[in-house]
Structure 1
Amino acid sequence: MKRRDFLKLSGFAPIGIMGYGWMGHGWMGRRHSTNSNILSLKPKKSPLPIPKLLDPIIENGIKKFHLNIQESHHTFFENINTKTYGIESTYLGPTLLLRQGESVEIEYKNNLPEATTMHGHGMHVPAIMDGGVHQVINPNQCWSAKYTVNQPASTCWYHPHLMGKTAEQVYMGLAGMIIVEDEESKNLNIPQTYGVDDIPVVLQDKKFDSSGQIDYSPTRMEIKRGYKANTFLVNGAIEPYFNAKTGWLRLRVLNGANARVFTISFGLFKSFYQIATDNSFLEQPIKLNSLTLSPGERAEIVVYVDRDLVLQDRNTSKSLLYIFKDESIGLVDSLPTQLTNLERLNIHDAKRVRRFVLNMRRGHMAINSKIMNKNRIDERVPVNDVEIWEIINPMHMVHNFHIHATHFEIIERNGSARNVLPSERGFKDTIYMPPRSTAKVLVKMKDYVDEVHPYMYHCHILEHEDDGMMGQFTVVSNS
């Protein structure tokens, strides 16, 4: 039986070792009422949607992007129009390609019936261009992030950051990727043809009601645990497929879920290589059989396509993306042994230690027993000082920790540098914090001093962030 005929008959039944196929993923007998009555809904069988590369306008040497944030409808299920939010699209947004050293202006027009913001997650920018809780875009208004790209090659993303509404707006579809290139990345012998062998992969999970509409209605317990669902999406599609050429395939994987932690794998016996973390290349490719990403984290991986593959979530044994080997030969058939040389910070240069305890206060999520208050500055960080930030999760639940404005190094987990995984040894902006764990990261705020406008640090489980697990800091002059 031919592969495509197999798909038609099986409704995306598994072809990998660990996959269980769509019907095996729990459509029958789910506990959640919002999912228990949608047996008649059939997921749309489709190729992997590839977000378009948005074409900029060049004016006076400035690369300008214009993005419309809008209400829309998207087809997750056959013959069902689901209400969504999108950015220049029915769901999610286009990919923005930026290059180190160039001047950019990203203008967002809010066509929603409610306010929003748009944060460049992972972008090293001035505080007033960060798109945090203070840069609100009201309905029918525009806001622009203007800056010079000042960071190495990386995979970043943009998403709302509105106080109390971030989780719902991301859940409805507001997110997109930002790819930063530099001279070093362009000269590496790695897959670099967007949409062909260099593919964005946005992982999410979603609840739908009996009519196929998105259901975002967390209970108080689901706010504490994070809002999770049993329907998994890749770039807004349910179990899509991608036709790949024989050779190395690069996947820029973003955990764009509200709360779910994904552990990605191609099965027990298929290895792959991680080449980048949130904000930088790793110095050498790291061979892996699985990789865990918490919400907001990114990783660039390459896998050799010599047969059909299934990208899976090992935590749930669900299939995420089917990769079918094409007969043609790919553009890259070998990988470099050295990717970059990272200019690391020196722990002995650290001027101070700051401690951030992820806990609760009066029933709400908090940091250092303080619930987020956008009128309060929690920390003042001197520019160019090396600091150790100690992050403590004393709770019996998963958290993580994201810092705006900077790219940090993980130097210790649970009291030892040996517990830092090789796959974590690039620069990052988000760190996974399992239950009852500790970590230390090395931080240095650079370039942008603003003693009035703050950046944020917070848990990137979006329900936790909205509930109060967030704080603010300003970068102050060092004098």
Structure 2
Amino acid sequence: MKESKKSRLDTPSSRRGFLKSLGAASLIVPFSGATVSADTSTSAGTINTFKVPPLDFGQRSGDTLSFNLQLGVAKTQFFKGVNTSTLGINQSYLGPVLRAKRGDNVRINVTNQMGVPSTLHWHGMVLPANMDGGPHQEIKHGDRWTSEFKIRQEASTLWYHSHQMHQTGAQVYHGLAGLFIIDDDSSQQLGLPQEYGVDDIPCTIQDRRFNRDGSLSYIGSMHDRMMGMEGDTILVNGVVTPTLQAKRSLLRLRLHNGSNARTYQLAFSDQRNFQVIASDGGFLTAPVTINSLRLAVGERAEILVDVSDQKTIQLLSQQANGGGGMMGMMSRMSGSSEAFTIMTIDAKQAQPSTHAIPATLRAMAAIPNPKASIATRKFDLQMGMGMMGGGFRINGKTMEMSRIDFQVKRNSTEIWEVRNDSPMAHPFHVHNVQFHILDRNGKKPTEIESGLKDTVLVQRDEVVRIVMTFPEYSDAKVPYMYHCHILEHEDQGMMGQFVVV
């Protein structure tokens, strides 16, 4: 893949502007520089066309795939004629969909032309700690970092994003994120829709807030810091509430919550049923038919939706916040619990699909036997509110780069008990593993949550037990992270780190 041209993603004035604005962590001020007019332009009264992200298969040499990614500063037109300062990966906003196959050795060269340090973390990937792209693998401006690892996982929809210490929220908010699709041989034989951009469609959902001049607004109040940054404008793949002109009567949507803080409760406007076929780490054993799906920050779900009736429908979020308690009350008071449109699907021209909803999918990876666990660890998620203070903590500690919180043994099985002692829900993410949920407050998980996961939403006053077997990778010095995936909480200290030995 050719790296993006300097005129698109790298100008001195652009870098200076973002260095100033990200450092202030406040409202982003427009800056001069080359203008990039993306296909995301919109205006009042017009239909915003759904945008399929570019697909990058890398450059293959034997069983090695090489990808070249450039982090840069640009301008994007979310609204027609209005240039918004953004960050992008090989384009003006967000990044390409990377695609590889189980068994591939991947080599990803990441060049930083942003003017400030950054990282790229491969969320959901099992890989060596020094290739993970966490805050310890910082890429300074002008430098290139290469991440090399073997794809050992089953077919799944993963993602990648900035994980820069104290700046993850700001950098992801402005565009440093993308999807990473893994294929395998058996997944191609399931009879599922698999024509990319036609009936197999990625959907990165984000909420953003814009200033009057079209610039992105980030962290404008203490509420934004405490609750996490939520916006009043919905983007899908960088397009404001787009319309997808369905080409086939059976669609496979790869849904990804790429927001900073918002939990979505997704349903279609006519309450039609759809089938969930995969969660974070891969396929379920069989499709699960539902009409509403909760998706927390960082989570992914693949669904099948039948539009053979050729109607026009909206994908809605029925409930914008999963916090409950005090935070739920605050959300209802601000009106953010009202339903809003994510995207529209216009199926009037949809042609009959050659695929059908399968009765079964594939045997699920065996759940580790809890009796084989060599340790049970407890994690209390805590946050101080207003005058109470206390900040964002796990087990009473805020994140320190120089502190390793504990060690785990490679190839060992552990149970983690995650307790939420705070007033709101938190999505809990663990690097380098795909885990299974054992129970929520003693109750077995739903069928949707029965598959492999790397992120789990823990409600207020809830205890979620997860079980995982750590891979063979070990490194006594370089840690992996565990943290709340509300990015503002992570940035303010609700994160810890462990090493595998």
The answer to whether the superposition gives a TM-score over 0.5 is yes
Letter of the 1:76 partner, please give it. Answer: F
Equivalent position of 1:12 in the other structure: none
> Which deviates more from structure 2 when the two are superposed, residues 249-258 or residues 361-370?
361-370
Equivalent position of 1:378 in the other structure: 405
SS state of the match for residue 56, structure 2? Answer: coil
* Aligned counterparts of 1:47 and 1:330: Cα–Cα separation in 2: 22
Equivalent position of 1:452 in the other structure: 477
* Aligned counterparts of 1:75 and 1:42: Cα–Cα separation in 2: 14
Equivalent position of 1:78 in the other structure: 80
Quote the offset at 1:414 in angstroms.
1.3
1:222-371 equivalent positions in 2, closer than 5 A = 222-306=224-308, 307-315=311-319, 316-342=338-364, 343-360=366-383, 363-371=390-398
Equivalent position of 1:174 in the other structure: 176
* Aligned counterparts of 2:45 and 2:186: Cα–Cα separation in 1: 41
Letter of the 2:374 partner, please give it. Answer: K
Equivalent position of 1:427 in the other structure: 452
Shift in alpha-carbon separation, 1:348–1:358, aligned structure 2, 3 A: same
* Aligned counterparts of 1:268 and 1:309: Cα–Cα separation in 2: 7
Equivalent position of 2:117 in the other structure: 115
* Aligned counterparts of 2:417 and 2:109: Cα–Cα separation in 1: 36
Equivalent position of 2:467 in the other structure: 442
Deviations 1:93-136 (A, max 9, x none): 00000100011111111110100000000111100000001000
* Aligned counterparts of 1:145 and 1:338: Cα–Cα separation in 2: 36
Deviations 1:157-178 (A, max 9, x none): 0000010000000000110000
* Aligned counterparts of 1:194 and 1:337: Cα–Cα separation in 2: 23
Deviations 1:333-380 (A, max 9, x none): 412111111122112212221000001375310100000001111020
Shift in alpha-carbon separation, 1:155–1:430, aligned structure 2, 3 A: same
Question: Would the aligned equivalents of 2:155 and 2:283 in 1 still touch at CA under 8 Å?
Answer: yes
Equivalent position of 1:397 in the other structure: 424
SS state of the match for residue 193, structure 1? Answer: coil
* Aligned counterparts of 1:218 and 1:433: Cα–Cα separation in 2: 26
Moved over 3 A (4+): 40-45, 330-333
Equivalent position of 2:21 in the other structure: none
Letter of the 1:386 partner, please give it. Answer: T
Equivalent position of 1:128 in the other structure: 130
Equivalent position of 1:87 in the other structure: 89
Structure 1: stretches of 5+ with no match in the other structure: 1-32, 35-39
* Aligned counterparts of 2:141 and 2:348: Cα–Cα separation in 1: 46
Question: Would the aligned equivalents of 2:205 and 2:258 in 1 still touch at CA under 8 Å?
Answer: yes
SS state of the match for residue 465, structure 1? Answer: helix
Quote the offset at 1:222 in angstroms.
1.9
Question: Would the aligned equivalents of 2:482 and 2:495 in 1 still touch at CA under 8 Å?
Answer: yes
Matching residue within 37, 43, 63 for 2:65: 63
> Which deviates more from structure 2 when the two are superposed, residues 322-331 or residues 281-290?
322-331
Equivalent position of 1:209 in the other structure: 211
Structure 2: stretches of 5+ with no match in the other structure: 1-26, 29-41, 320-337
Letter of the 1:165 partner, please give it. Answer: Q
RMSD: 1.7
* Aligned counterparts of 1:445 and 1:61: Cα–Cα separation in 2: 25
* Aligned counterparts of 2:124 and 2:250: Cα–Cα separation in 1: 26
Question: Would the aligned equivalents of 1:201 and 1:252 in 2 still touch at CA under 8 Å?
Answer: yes
Deviations 1:45-83 (A, max 9, x none): 421111101142224542101011111111111210111
* Aligned counterparts of 2:138 and 2:260: Cα–Cα separation in 1: 21
Equivalent position of 1:23 in the other structure: none
Letter of the 1:256 partner, please give it. Answer: G
Equivalent position of 1:158 in the other structure: 160
* Aligned counterparts of 2:118 and 2:166: Cα–Cα separation in 1: 11
* Aligned counterparts of 1:242 and 1:129: Cα–Cα separation in 2: 36
Letter of the 2:395 partner, please give it. Answer: N
Deviations 1:265-286 (A, max 9, x none): 1135301000000001011100
Question: Would the aligned equivalents of 2:192 and 2:357 in 1 still touch at CA under 8 Å?
Answer: yes
Letter of the 1:103 partner, please give it. Answer: N
Matching residue within 409, 414, 435 for 2:436: 409
Shift in alpha-carbon separation, 1:197–1:309, aligned structure 2, 3 A: same
* Aligned counterparts of 2:95 and 2:475: Cα–Cα separation in 1: 30
* Aligned counterparts of 2:395 and 2:305: Cα–Cα separation in 1: 41
Quote the offset at 1:442 in angstroms.
0.6
* Aligned counterparts of 1:44 and 1:258: Cα–Cα separation in 2: 28
* Aligned counterparts of 1:118 and 1:136: Cα–Cα separation in 2: 8
Equivalent position of 2:196 in the other structure: 194
For this pair of structures, how many residues does the alignment match? 437
SS state of the match for residue 463, structure 1? Answer: helix
